[in-house]
Amino acid sequence: MKPFAGLAPEVVLDAAAAFGFEGDGRLFALNSYENRVYQMGSPEGTRVLKFYRPARWSDAQIAEEHAFTAELAEAEMAVAAPLSRGGATGGETLFQYEGFRFAVFPWMRGRAPELDAPESRAMLGRAIARIHRIGGTRAFRTRERLTIERLGFGARDSVMESGLLPESLEESYLRATDALLERIERVFSEIGAVRQLRIHGDCHLGNLLWNEHGPVFVDLDDCVTGPAIQDLWMLLSGSAEEQQKQWQELIEGYEQFSPFEFAEARLVEPLRALRMMHHAAWIAGRWSDPAFPRAFPWFGGQRYWEGHINDLLEQAAAIDDPTLPSR
């Protein structure tokens, strides 16, 4: 399957021009596996063209992504909000051309985040809290929800059905995922209901830029309904002591704009486990796209799956003995 077959540079430029986005001939493919993203030079300023993977999101789901991003932009947050025809605002933002769906965004300037700089994590915490305050004002109708069923059980089923897991490791994989999913369900059950709101959903450093004013959010393609902690835990790294310090800085900034339910901190390791399972299933599910074997040549072999199963077992132990962020 080649979902973007036929998306040649001239088609990209013609698609933009058809909706009033005139290019100047400069076109650069940006690093993106799920969609196809291009930087286009134009007399009105650099544009980013995102061509959506067919059949992944419905038109309604993409419209909700665009509407949420527009809400954040209206609140003067640094986000790349989609443009309507010709670069205006307030109109249709999802376009179709020769079977491809795409959107156009302004180019957001910035550099890679350096979160060890003084006040950086506090600034990021404040920004995420503002996203959540806006995200809590209304609900998604069609976007996905962050659930154990989808990211855990569904991911396991996808791996088992992919044909990429060596038969000799199937039993080990099932045992490891059984142990992991039992622990994930137990922790979610013990914590009980937590507030669900519209969140970024994939808030890691690769989806952030930094300018002179602070964080810039460039991609809400994975926005979902879920708990606030999902947008915070991926920003923690290093030893337990380092993560504790990072958490203190992040949550100190966060609580300047929004209260945080500290019971959610227990979800960090279960959410990490779900992401591990989902990531493997994501690559397996996209393996027929030629871009994925090129990008992940190590995936699918015996050594990869042995390492993945071992990582899942270690993550089960981490859920049993977590490094809980504290005030």
Among all residues, which ones are annotated catalytic? 202, 219
CA distance 306 to 152: 19
Would you give the distance in Å from CA 178 to the centre of its chain? 25
277 within 8 A of 156, measured Cβ to Cβ? yes
**Terminal CA-to-CA distance of the chain, rounded, Å?**
49
Amino acid letter, 1: M
CA-CA-CA-CA torsion sign (157, 155, 67, 87): negative
Running DSSP on this structure, what letter comes out for residue 81? P
| Of 71, 97, 252, 275, the residue nearest 184 (C-alpha) | 275
CA distance 279 to 246: 25
The per-residue b/e assignment along 115-129, b for 16 or more CB within 10 angstroms, e otherwise, is: beeeebbbbbbbbbb
CA distance 165 to 321: 29
Provide the Cα torsion 187, 192, 198, 201; round to 10°.
Answer: 0
Q: In what order do the strands lie in the sheet with 27-30?
A: 27-30, 36-40, 47-51, 100-106, 95-97
Which ranges of the chain would DSSP assign to H, the alpha helix? 9-18, 59-74, 120-135, 148, 154-162, 170-191, 240-254, 268-285, 291-295, 302-320
Place of tokens 């309507």: 84
